Amino acid sequence: MEPVPDWGTIPRMLRDQAARHPDATVVADDAVRASDARANDARVSDARANDARVSATAASGARMSMAELLGEATRVARGLMALGVGPGDRVALWGVNDPSWVVHAFGVWCAGAVIVPLSSRAKGLEAAAMIRKTGARVLITGEGAGRTVLADLLPPGTGLLHVVVPAPSPPVPGPSSEMPGPVRLTASELRERGEEVAPDAAEERALAVRPDDLCEIMSTSGTTGTPKGVMLDHAQVLRGYWDWAEIVSLREDDRYPVIAPFSHGFGLNAGLLACVLRRATMLPVPVFTPDGLMELVSAGRISVLAGPPTLFHRLLDELDRGSWDVSSLRVAICGAAAVPPSLITRLVDQVGVERVINAYGLMEGTVVSMTRAGDPVEVVAATAGRAVPGIEVRVVDDAGRDVAAGERGEILQRGYGVMRGYWDEPERTAEVVDGDGWLHTGDVGVLDQDGNLAIVDRKKELYIVNGFNVSPAEVESLLLREGSLAQAAVVGVPDPVSGEAGRAYVVPRPGAEVAAETLLDWARENMSNYKVPKRIVVVDALPANANGKIDKLALRARATREDSEPGKRLS
């Protein structure tokens, strides 16, 4: 493999790319914009009618070259410096995938600061929790960010000094708007403030960033009720996603829609960053909807597409029903524990893709394993390939002993990709990274004789909804904030649409009347949509084990009985 260039840091990488390839198009805001505007407005009644707008606007979208990206990012960096953001300070970004997110991300990095991405699906309580945890000094919001005013959720003294909004907004009515809080300014005002900082000072700041400086604190669900902040540095993300892009064969003439949110590790690193590393054109997708998939691929002349198997099944189904031009598509990145062999065969034979790739990674360990060119269909279908260069993988039993090839055990990982730790939580870091540097992933896997890794289960209590990890403890904690509940317990159950879904069992407080639908409405208003339980069951008491803890095994068994006997009331 071609080694990663000697950049060391993201700001140096961007400067080198802009110097060598100033005219390379790195961001295109076309072909997806119309369909995503439709998706952003949940009140549109006829989504299919709006899909037709994509083709009409495909030729009129904005473009951003590498030199323009550097120029805009430098203006943002100067603005942040004028606000007092120093090296290592945290800056939160909150919004959907769009060119503004890209510019502000590189601006944060060029200011020597650390990005704290907030999910655009997050509600005020969730976003405020991560801002408090990391001590972010500035929040940059964009389109699709939560409507809740964070100044009302963050009392003075929490560290947030400024909120940057896309455009002027009217004051929020009510007494809470009069409370002291962060200073608000628009994105254009941020750049105007940057005129106070000399260009030479901004350049000096960017070049002073070191390879081992943090560049990201990524939120990841855990089992303690609050998200953890995964710390990653410049050197490890540059190497990890340079190698990822090399194996994927991402190249300068590729057009790659980034569907995964920039707030997610895959969207930010295997999308936004990888495109700049390889000078591929990224098409940020604000909100993806399956109805616009074929217009996205056809009108956008997409060559690289990443998503779960369901996305590619949808593409093939639409191809069977209509006449679409998908000849530009050459690489399919289909990350999943298992991919149907027939899906791979159809993508190659019917669509004409050159490569179908499967991979395994996690927030705490970046990229762990990937399938390679020339792997047979059965390897891509049943495994996540072999460890990437610089990463070691073991599968061990409960005593920490390596198991034989073909046997199940916990996946351990060691190498440059292992996180620097959880932000401000050394005890929790020590629980998952041992003294020899092995990351205990909590995932259960099987290694074959050739070193191909299959993911077969999870030791963790987490469940996955549409590709998003969900912590039962976090959902329980949020439900209890509603005020009418004495207890809440959440388990993941199989779901034919989302893979898994949450089911909450709740006990009302004495004298409180709790209706499941009312509680679900509250959850939809206060939680990311993938965290909202699909079903809430009101009970008199929760089962407990011998240690007095809630018996989740008993609740899962109950959920199974409920699903097998939907009309029967279970006590």
List pLDDT tens digits, range 288-336: 887 788 988 999 999 999 988 878 988 998 888 878 899 999 999 987 7
- CA–chain centroid gap for 169, Å, is 28
Other residues' Cβ atoms within 10 Å of the Cβ of residue 63: 13
Domains of the chain: 10-23+68-172+179-223+248-285 (3.40.50.12780), 463-564 (3.30.300.30)
Query: Is the pLDDT confidence value at 170 over 60?
Result: no
Q: Among 347, 451, 448, 344, which Cα is nearest to 392's?
A: 451
Q: Among 283, 279, 324, 318, which Cα is nearest to 300's?
A: 283
Range in 21-30, 36-45, 114-123, 420-429 with the lowest mean pLDDT: 36-45
pLDDT of residue 288: 85
Query: Is the pLDDT confidence value at 33 over 70?
Result: no
Query: Is the pLDDT confidence value at 383 over 60?
Result: yes
Query: Is the pLDDT confidence value at 44 over 70?
Result: no
pLDDT of residue 384: 95
Q: How confident is the model at residue 496 (pLDDT cuts 50, 70, 90)?
A: confident
Enumerate residues 6+ apart whose C-beta is below 8 A from 208. Answer: 87, 112
Q: How confident is the model at residue 41 (pLDDT cuts 50, 70, 90)?
A: very low
**Average pLDDT across the chain, whole number:** 87
pTM for the predicted model, two decimal places: 0.84
* Whole-number Å distance between alpha carbons of 288 and 11: 30
The mean pLDDT value for 401-422 works out to: 97
* Whole-number Å distance between alpha carbons of 187 and 98: 14
* Percentage, residues of the chain above pLDDT 90: 67
pLDDT of residue 224: 55
Q: Which residue has the higher pLDDT, 459 or 566?
A: 459
Q: How confident is the model at residue 180 (pLDDT cuts 50, 70, 90)?
A: low
Q: What is the DSSP letter of 300?
A: T
Q: Which residue has the higher pLDDT, 544 or 76?
A: 76
pLDDT of residue 1: 84
| 386 token code pair | 């072999």
Range in 219-233, 239-253, 476-490 with the lowest mean pLDDT: 219-233
* Percentage, residues of the chain above pLDDT 70: 87
pLDDT of residue 47: 31
Quick: pLDDT tens for 502-524. Answer: 999 999 988 899 999 999 999 99
* Whole-number Å distance between alpha carbons of 59 and 347: 27
Query: Is the pLDDT confidence value at 98 over 80?
Result: yes
Consecutive H or E run containing 391: strand 391-396
- CA–chain centroid gap for 275, Å, is 16
Task: Note whether 225 and 488 are within 8 A (CB).
Answer: no
Task: Note whether 301 and 255 are within 8 A (CB).
Answer: yes
Question: What 3-state class would DSSP assign to 141?
Answer: strand
Q: Which residue has the higher pLDDT, 142 or 392?
A: 392
pLDDT of residue 34: 41
Query: Is the pLDDT confidence value at 568 over 60?
Result: no
Quick: pLDDT tens for 450-464. Answer: 999 999 877 777 888
Task: Note whether 539 and 551 are within 8 A (CB).
Answer: no
Q: Which residue has the higher pLDDT, 548 or 408?
A: 408
pLDDT of residue 83: 97
Range in 215-229, 294-308, 312-326, 338-352 with the lowest mean pLDDT: 215-229
